[in-house]
Amino acid sequence: MEPARSSTRYRLAGLATVGVFALAGCSASTSGDAATDAEPTALTIAAQSGPNSLDPAQLSNGQQMFVWTSVLDTLLARDPATGDIVPNAAEAWEYNDDGTVLTLTLREGMTFSDDTPVDAEAVAATMNRTRETPGQVQPKFSQVTDVAATGDLEVEVRFDRFDPQFVPNLAYGVGAIGHPDTLDDERTATDPIGSGPYTLSVENSVDGSTYVLEKRDDYWNADAIEADTFTVQVMQDPTAAFNALQSGEVDAAGVQAQMLSQLPESGFTFSTTDATGVMLLDLIGRGGDGWPALQDERVRQAINYAFDRESIVDSLLGGGGMPSAQVFNPDGDVYDASLDEMYPYDPDRGRELVEEAGFAGATFEIPSTYLSTAFEPTISQAFEDVGLNVEWKSIPPQQVQSAVQSGDYGIVFQVSGFSSDPEEAFSRYAIGGYGNPLGYTDPTLDSLFETINSTVAFEEAVPTYQELNAYAMEQALVVPIAYTGTTWAAHDGITASTVGGLPPTISTFDLGG
């Protein structure tokens, strides 16, 4: 199934019903039969992880968002049908000419679950606390100097300089709205007074395992929410999730491509997105002084030639993905299909480049993590095929992220979910980017980012992003291997959006009636 194509331009998309699809559906106990108008409706899904915290300053992306976006509203959202940034708690947004002031206009009549108003003071208080509180969201405020309520429903976010990532991030943790009077209370992490469409039923939930969410009838968009109960079952084991789906314990679950044939088409619907993230090798050693081989573009190019991407998708991903040599979302505006021809599988050419550069036999230490284990033999063989060697160094799960950022390893294997085109660009290629902890840059990159950072309208910056993509590929600054895909299988009547890179929220699903 081909993923829907979309244009993820960051523009005011007009007033829209977002945050949740209009839902009419089933519960696990009804095994897909549509509920009558008089019956409460419910949706139960299997997710890979629950929230590490419900504190706005500590929120994580990924499938944790199924829970926290139900409890905490976000200022903006992503349209499940197109991927466009659209209004949510903020009905409008506008930059000044140089992008150093962003004005957000909130909807009237919004309330928290305790009936106090969701207003500009609440938004400003949440944002200012988050940017001052160490946590996973704080770095997203790196260019913000102040957030102020300039009216009951108007917020100004002020920046040192224009930050192209900020508006897209308002559909994620940056845009979460917490209760200003209770943000520092202990309950905020586990049972906050929320601004979102649901409240957490603490008595029916088990932290880390089951989250039962009950609809708020006083939510601003309540008429669009027909699922009275939304339950998230945390199931890290794909086989457990598959079994729960088969038994009717859950209504929808992500299913590995290799297991799909075991589900009867007559009893399930399948929604496939071929690209939800990218599997790659970050060539961190292109910066710093510790890896002269990686500072030679011929060696970096050789590693790109070393991978049989189509075979990896077919054999290791079970067909659940797409071969690609790019890092940008194919549902976005920067991706260029023609560039995927730049590095065909050609280990002979790779070996020639390595020998020409004088690095034949060079050995690289790569962290061995829970992400890399299944792919390590293939990666090792690819390196050997072009005259290079790999030593895998075992890293405990809790140390994976610190190992990536330490600079102790020249190459790191990653599987990164898509967020937005600006974030993909900055994460991989900018100084301070997650995939560039040693701060590699050159005059061309500096010039491209200077243009990007001074072009407020995303549509006008797209050609520069495309130029950055092509240049980064020519220089082989990273080694993308494949896009990873997802298939949601569900009982009849339930479908999931197939737009890649959407934040995981209840709006992913349409229960269909």
Q: Which DSSP string do the residues of 90-123 spell out, in sequence order?
A: EEEEEE-TTSSEEEEEEPTT-B-TTS-B--HHHH
Phi and psi (nearest 5°) for 480? -65, 140
- 32 or 439: which leads in pLDDT: 439
Confidence at 1, pLDDT banded by 50, 70, 90: very low
Give yes or no for a contact between 171 and 78, defined as CB atoms under 8 angstroms apart.
Answer: yes
pLDDT digit string (tens) for 235-290?
999 999 999 999 999 999 999 998 999 999 888 999 999 999 999 999 999 998 88
Confidence of residue 16 (pLDDT cuts 50, 70, 90): very low
> Is the pLDDT assigned to residue 46 strictly greater than 50?
yes
Asked if residue 449 lies in contact with residue 406, where contact means CB atoms within 8 angstroms, the answer is no
pLDDT (0 to 100) of residue 18: 33
**Beta-carbon count within 10 A of 14 CB:** 10
The answer to whether the beta carbons of residues 366 and 393 sit under 8 Å apart is yes
- 16 with 480: CB under 8 angstroms? no
| Encoded tokens for 419 | 């967020």
1 or 307, which is more confident: 307
CA distance 485 to 474: 26
Give the span between the Cα atoms of 355 and 83, in whole angstroms. Answer: 45
Q: Mind listing the pLDDT tens digit for each residue in 308-345?
A: 999 999 999 999 999 999 999 999 999 999 999 999 99
Q: Among candidates 58, 51, 53, which has minimal Cα distance to 140? A: 58
Residue 409: beta bridge partners?
Answer: none
pLDDT reported for residue 296: 97
pLDDT digits 0-9 by tens, 358-370: 999 999 999 999 8
Predicted pLDDT at 396: 87
pLDDT the model gives residue 406? 85
Q: State the pLDDT at residue 3.
A: 32
For residue 404, what pLDDT is reported? 80
**Nearest-angstrom CA–CA distance, 126 and 133:** 10
pLDDT at 64 over 60: yes
Question: In CATH, which superfamily holds the domain spanning 275-485?
Answer: Dipeptide-binding Protein; Domain 3 (3.10.105.10)
pLDDT of 398 reads 77
Give the residue with greater pLDDT, 343 vs 401. Answer: 343
- Count how many residues are written for the chain: 513
| pLDDT > 70 in the chain, percent | 92
Mean pLDDT in residue range 74-93 = 96
Closest C-alpha to 213, from 196, 226, 230: 230
**Which of the four pLDDT bands, split at 50, 70 and 90, describes residue 512?**
confident
Tokens of 351: 């070996």
pLDDT of 397? 79
CA atoms of 349 and 90, how far apart (whole Å): 53
> CB–CB of 332/501 below 8 Å?
yes
Q: What angle do CA 496, 502, 508 make, to 5 degrees?
A: 25
The structure tokens 């029916």 sit at 204
Contact predicate 267/491, CB 8 Å: yes
CATH 3.10.105.10 domain extents, the chain:
275-485
Tokens 């790196």 correspond to 142
Q: What is the spatial distance between Cα 193 and Cα 178, in angstroms, rounded to a whole number? A: 8
Q: How far apart are CA 461 and CA 334, in angstroms?
A: 10
Whether pLDDT at 479 is above 80: yes
Beta strands at 198-200 and 210-215: parallel, antiparallel or unpaired: antiparallel
Is the model's pLDDT at 34 over the cut of 80? no
Closest CA to 271 of 496, 507, 484: 496
Reported as a pLDDT band with limits 50, 70 and 90, residue 14 is: very low
Angle at 115 between CA 111 and CA 118, to 5 degrees: 25
Q: 28-267+492-510: which CATH number, 3.30.70.980, 3.40.605.10, 3.30.230.70, 3.40.190.10?
A: 3.40.190.10
Count of CB atoms within 10 A of residue 460's CB? 10
Give the 3-state secondary structure of residue 331. Answer: coil
Run of H or E including 482: strand 478-491
pLDDT for residue 409 is more than 50: yes
Nearest to 214 by CA among 203, 228, 234: 228
Where are the CATH 3.40.190.10 domain residues in the chain?
28-267+492-510
- What pLDDT shows up at residue 38? 45
Mean pLDDT of the residues in the chain: 91
Sign of CA dihedral 388, 394, 396, 402: negative
Residue pair 59/53 in contact (Cβ under 8 Å)? The answer is yes
What SS3 state is found at 388? coil
3-class state of residue 310 by DSSP: helix
Q: What is the mean pLDDT of residues 161-166?
A: 97
Residue closest to 24 by CA, chosen among 227, 217, 192, 170 = 227
Tell me phi and psi for residue 212, to 5 degrees. -105, 120
Statement: residue 15 has pLDDT above 50: no
Q: What is the per-residue pLDDT across 174-214, written as a single tens digit (0 to 9) for each? A: 999 999 999 999 999 999 999 999 999 999 999 999 999 99
CA distance 77 to 18: 7
